[in-house]
Structure 1
């Protein structure tokens, strides 16, 4: 099984893509399947979030591109910027991850939040979209260069895939 543990800034060739929803791009230990059907293990430092377009490699030096999967989200828009800012405040007050776009917010689909936002006068549209929320004030929004693995690589740790039998 291919093990990915090092982020690189650029590559001349991409061997395959690792398409993951945001929930799995937050995991520090993950077993997944590449778009070519090959199984991979991903090891990152706790707190690392893989972003759309990140490049990962391992011992065999093949480069794998991370792709944000389309997933159920709500696109939140308002008639004016002040109303959108008010919605952002209320989402933040509930510690809700949000993607900030040009004139919109995007959140994971949640019926309770949808009702709250509609009550604030927002238009809430269901859509399948790549979810890339803000990293937060302490999330290290800028890139760091790593000279080695992102995390120690266990030799015999079993990597569980969501949905694997217990």
Structure 2
């Protein structure tokens, strides 16, 4: 089993041996065993609290094997509205400590029927999609799952 212990920022020049598609939640696991598409097992033994980002490069202790992390498409709710309404929605989601991806044109969160109903009541358009999900890490770099 390959063990990856070091994280490097995304770099398109790095020649990678493997890619590992992970969901947003899986990218918060700093110590976990995953199985690659070819059935090979890899173990992450990163600094506790490490949150991986799309494109990050992981290496083993000898830095001889490189693996790229890919944000795996997953079911999400994409919230669409004009900025003032998006800000209001972000406020309400933040009060619930929900992991949210924030852009100037949409908010994105994991599917939740209660939150979907609340957002619909606020007048937001909600679209169900399967896309890579990259929530904000939070003010202190932590990734909380409420």
TM-score by length of 2: 0.89
> Which residue in the other structure is 2:69 paired with?
66
> Which residue in the other structure is 2:139 paired with?
137
* 1:35-50 matches, cutoff 5 A: 35-50=37-52
Contact kept, 8 Å, 2:30 with 2:50, in 1: the verdict is: yes
Aligned residues: 139
Do structure 1's residue 106 and structure 2's residue 102 form an aligned pair? no
CA apart distance, 1:129: 1.0
* 1:80-95 matches, cutoff 5 A: 80-95=82-97
Structure 2 alignment gaps of length 5 or more: none
Q: Which has the larger radius of gyration?
A: 1
Structure 1 alignment gaps of length 5 or more: 141-166
Contact kept, 8 Å, 2:7 with 2:46, in 1: the verdict is: no
Moved >2 Å (runs of 4+)? 8-12, 34-37
CA apart distance, 1:8: 2.4
- Root-mean-square deviation over aligned CA pairs: 1.4
> Which residue in the other structure is 1:164 paired with?
none
Q: 1:4 to 1:137 in 2, by over 3 A?
A: same
